[in-house]
Amino acid sequence: MTSFLIVDAQSVKNTDSAEQKGYDAGKKVSGIKRHIAVDTQGLPHAIAITTAEVTDRNGALAAMDRCDPNLLGVESVLVDGGYTGQPFADAVKQRLGATVQVVKRNELHTFVVLPKRWVVERSFGWLEKCRRLWKNCERKLNSSLQFVHLAFLVLLLRRS
């Protein structure tokens, strides 16, 4: 059981063989989006793969719906500025009974490590170590999801 979840999304480019793809206008990426919710150690509790045009908020809610039994006992969800808005906070409260804390960047143009937000970025970094996950080579979204699960499984086996 974890009391904190840290949620983020990552846009990934597609290869030509991919069947399902979208366009993330914010990052100018044609491909898919990986949505993950990790605990304070960076271990995944909810994962969803969507086409890139799906918003971060909708993708995070899809991941929470998909992995609902894993999220019992969550009290707080830490997110970045892309998840702001009362509708998202209300949806998380309804699904998990948890509060949403938005960690905003400082208005200054200096580099600052955001509290606990770096954990989810490190988890994305772990995925980037798997060469097959640098780009989305899979035709179906479910295949991409299974390779992300497999990558985290290999990571856990190497840690123990």
**Contact by Cβ (8 Å): 11, 24:** yes
The Cα diameter of the chain in Å comes to 42
pLDDT at residue number 20: 80
Q: At what angle do helices 56-66 and 86-96 cross, to 10 degrees?
A: 0
**Contact by Cβ (8 Å): 122, 8:** no
Cα–Cα distance between 143 and 125 in angstroms, integer? 20
pLDDT at residue number 15: 84
Q: Which fold has domain 4-154?
A: Nucleotidyltransferase; domain 5 (3.30.420)
In terms of Cα–Cα distance, which of 43, 97, 40, 89 is closest to 68?
97
Pairing outcome for strands 99-102 and 4-13: unpaired
pLDDT at residue number 7: 95
pLDDT at residue number 113: 55
Residues listed for the chain: 160
Give the count of beta carbons closer than 10 Å to the beta carbon of residue 6. Answer: 26
pTM of the model: 0.89
Note down pLDDT in tens along the chain; length 160 residues. Answer: 558 899 999 999 988 877 788 888 888 889 999 999 999 898 999 999 999 999 999 999 999 999 888 788 899 999 988 899 999 999 999 999 999 999 876 654 565 556 678 899 999 999 988 888 888 888 889 999 999 999 999 988 887 6
Contacts of 75 (CB under 8 A, 6+ apart): 3, 4, 98, 99
